[in-house]
Amino acid sequence: MVRNFALSTIICLFASTAFGGETLYQTSTIQSLLDGVYEQEMTLDQVKQHGDFGLGTFDHLNGEMVFVDGVIYRVKSDGSIQIPADNEKTPFSAVTTFVTDATVKIRGADGFDSFAKAIDPRLPSPDIFYAIRIDGTFSHIKARSAPPQKKPYPPLKEVLKTQSFFEFHNIKGTLIGLWCPDYSKGINVPGYHFHFLTEDRMAGGHVLDFSFTGVEVKIDYLHKLSLTIPHVNNESPSLQPH
């Protein structure tokens, strides 16, 4: 489904009017983050006012955000976990108050493609957003986190050359995820996007690969998108005048 930005905005507004459902509150856009905009004005305290579940990152790209059960965790590039102060800020986050609208039992999945084959047919519409939570024991999780950045900020593709990788096997924990429609490209990540946190809340990261058997997938239908437009950081290389 390829649509331009104007049309996607209209669809989001129509969905919120037609269905009156729950809301995904988003700070900035994924394209801004890709371009190297790593500073914003939204505090974590403000983020918490919009939900108890979600994902994102922190100013200066200082770790992966995992927001679950009302607590925001930072997965640092050394793999350690920290609970950041409420006055810290985020350049990108997408959160909601998680309410289970559907529970899907699946035999298992070995990566994003097999997970999509099991879950996609259970999603009632390709035009709304979904929050997804999976609690259980995972056969394998591959995750990552990138180190904090200094000005002048490089684009994300350059930062990821220095990311750290974490491997987990037969680990209990929670996958926190979103599914976003195709037309949201540039606004968010189309398709599935997951962050992970271990059951003991001692490790996690942005999920690159996973496998598991016999889990329940909880899904929250999100019919509204509330987007805070980014405050542009003109020091980002891709935003410099030519």
**Of 1, 50, 6, 9, nearest to 26 (Cα)?**
50
- In this model, does residue 237 exceed pLDDT 70? no
pLDDT of residue 229: 85
pLDDT of residue 165: 98
The model's pLDDT over 80-137, given as tens digits with 9 standing for 90+, comes to 999 999 999 999 999 999 999 999 999 999 999 999 999 999 999 999 999 999 999 9
Contact 238, 35 (CB under 8 A): yes
pLDDT in tens, 157-167: 999 999 999 99
Proportion of the chain above pLDDT 70, given as a percent = 86
Return the pLDDT at 9.
35
pLDDT at residue 137 in the model: 96
CB neighbours of residue 109 within 10 Å: 22
The pair of structure tokens assigned to 34 is 């890709």
What's the pLDDT tens digit per position in 17-44?
A: 333 349 999 999 999 999 999 999 899 9
* pTM for this predicted structure: 0.87
For residue 224, what pLDDT band results from cuts at 50, 70 and 90? very high
For 225, the 3-state DSSP assignment is strand
Which pLDDT band holds residue 220 (cuts at 50, 70, 90)?
A: very high
Q: Which domains does the chain have, with CATH numbers?
A: 5-225 (3.30.1330.80)
Q: What is the CA radius of gyration of the chain?
A: 17
Nearest CA to 215 out of 168, 167, 175 is that of 175
